[in-house]
Amino acid sequence: MDHKVLAETVWDLVGGSSNVEQVTHCATRLRFNLRDRTKVQMESLKATSGVLGVVSKDTSFQVIIGAEVPNVYKYLSASGERTSGTSSDSGKEAAHKINKRGNWGSLFVYTITGIFVPILPPLTAAGMLKALLAILTTFKLVTNTSPTYVVINFMADAMFYFMPIFLANSAAKKFNCNPYLAMMLGGILLHPNFINMVTAGKEAGTMSSVFAIPIYNATYSASVIPIILSVWFMSKVEPIADRISPKMIKYFTRPMLTILVSGIVMLTALGPIGYIISQFIASVVNTINTVAGWIIPTAMGAFLPFMVMVGIHHGLTPIGINNRMTIGYDTIVYPGQLASNVAQGAAALAVSIKSKNKELKQLSSVTGVTAVCGITEPVLFGVTMRIKTNLIAAMCGGGAGGLFMGLIGVKNFSGGSPGLLTLPSYIGLDTPMSNFYFAAAGSGIAFIVSFVIAFILYKDQI
């Protein structure tokens, strides 16, 4: 694949500079904000070699490339030749269009996706480092007191501990405010003096205050919701601070007023609200696990392909993260996604074995392996959605694997892209190895059921 040629072809087919407001990318997709979608040469775009699929949504126009998307994207954004986040109003315009239609659900998913997609690489790195530690300790290659363990562990924990700062940066870009001031808000939540103040307050049964306003005794390391709410509020404060600041000293007063107001409101109101919401979500998850823990993993395993197809699966990411940060593990998001991803890969591999079409054999084998490792967009748009029997097989296998893991209550401890490569993320230091074995068994059920059904049902089109 010539990445430069593909980038130039895609760019021209979506309308070029006159039609593109913004282009970003996630793990497998180029995401465009377009001025006029009627200018897109849709059929030619879909037929382009290297393009696995196209998704047109309220919020963005997505071109699925696969794992090579970063290499294609760099030619779209190199040397300022392409529009890459240069339109500061593009996010607001997209949100305005959604609001005008009254589609608040799309706006929520659009916002959450825009905030979490940029931090997926460090989240994946942290999860894989935790998985590596789990392997090393399981096979007694290192102990949990050895220097090697300690170093790798705090390398992985850095992403989770400082998550408010990472989220502050991406949230600021989504809410169109200063990312460095937003990161300062994240730093305030993690400052040692604040943490010590909260710890002392909890021990003494008292609360600190600022301007006589009480500060709730909560810590926010590894938190998700408080910083997102706070950066959103800052995006409303910043333009007001700009408007009321005297022109001659605006450079000084605008950031000061923004941080002073936003920081106080964050510590006294929005932080506690976000903390309470996080605890409530954790409580709901515990209730679901107690009453019917199999429902969501089963549904996730069966219907995740449709969620990925329209790009709303990233809206589930903060739920899984919040579960792990509050109760220590996730049982409703990642196990179901694991079953679905493995099932899709298995169905594609069945086709690669049974089909006599050389092109389809190569496509299904390559994308099938990628899917069982955790990245499904290539197989979804290249195989699953094009072959009805594969979709049926993937839904059955994913649902069966999700049901098994839901009934057992399989726990995910460190995230990562759900696939066989991240199975070690189901190993907990204080949890029996049976949890890992059950995760592997659930993956095996998803694989076998999907593979068998796809192999039986698939027939080459003559």
Q: Which residues contact 138 (CB under 8 A, 6 or more apart)?
A: 424, 427, 433
Task: Please choose, from the candidates 10, 121, 140, the residue with its C-alpha nearest in 3D space to the C-alpha of residue 65.
Answer: 10
Mark whether 26 is an active-site residue. yes
Count of other CB atoms within 10 angstroms of residue 277: 15
**53: helix, coil or strand?**
strand
| Nearest residue to 369 via CA among 350, 385, 394 | 350
Q: Estimate to the nearest angstrom the gap between the alpha carbon of 174 and the chain centroid.
A: 15
The one catalytic residue in 26, 177, 373, 396 is: 26
3-class secondary structure, 213: strand
| Interatomic CA distance for residues 127 and 415, integer angstroms | 5
Residue 191 backbone dihedrals phi, psi, to 5 degrees: -65, 135
d(CA 135, CA 127): 13
* CA-wise closest residue to 403 among 292, 288, 295, 287: 295
Residue 37 CB neighbours (<10 A): 13
Query: Can you tell me the distance from the alpha carbon of 231 to that of 211, in angstroms, rounded to the nearest whole number?
Result: 22
List 213's β-bridge partners, or say none.
210
**Cβ within 8 Å of residue 163, ≥6 positions away:** 119, 221, 222, 223, 224, 227, 321, 325
Active site residues: 26
